[in-house]
Amino acid sequence: MANSHGLTSRIVKKQAAARRLSKNKKATFQIYIGNENPQTRKNTSYKARIHYFENKQNFPKKRLMTKNPQSLIEQGIIDERGFFVKGKKKNFLTKSMVDKTGLDFYGMPR
Q: What is the pLDDT of residues 7-63, one digit of tens each?
A: 788 888 888 777 776 666 555 555 555 666 777 777 778 788 888 888 888 887 778
Q: What is the arithmetic mean of pLDDT over 66-74?
A: 92
Partner residues linked to 83 by β-bridges:
91
CA 104/CA 46 separation, integer angstroms: 46
- Residue 66: which residues within 8 A CB-CB, separation 6 or more? 72
| Residue 35 to residue 19: CA distance in whole angstroms | 30
Q: Is the distance from CB of 90 to CB of 74 less than 8 angstroms?
A: no
Q: Chain centroid to CA 55: how far?
A: 7
Asked if residue 104 lies in contact with residue 110, where contact means CB atoms within 8 angstroms, the answer is: yes
Measure the CA–CA gap between 91 and 85, rounded to whole angstroms. Answer: 10
What is the structure's pLDDT at 20? 74
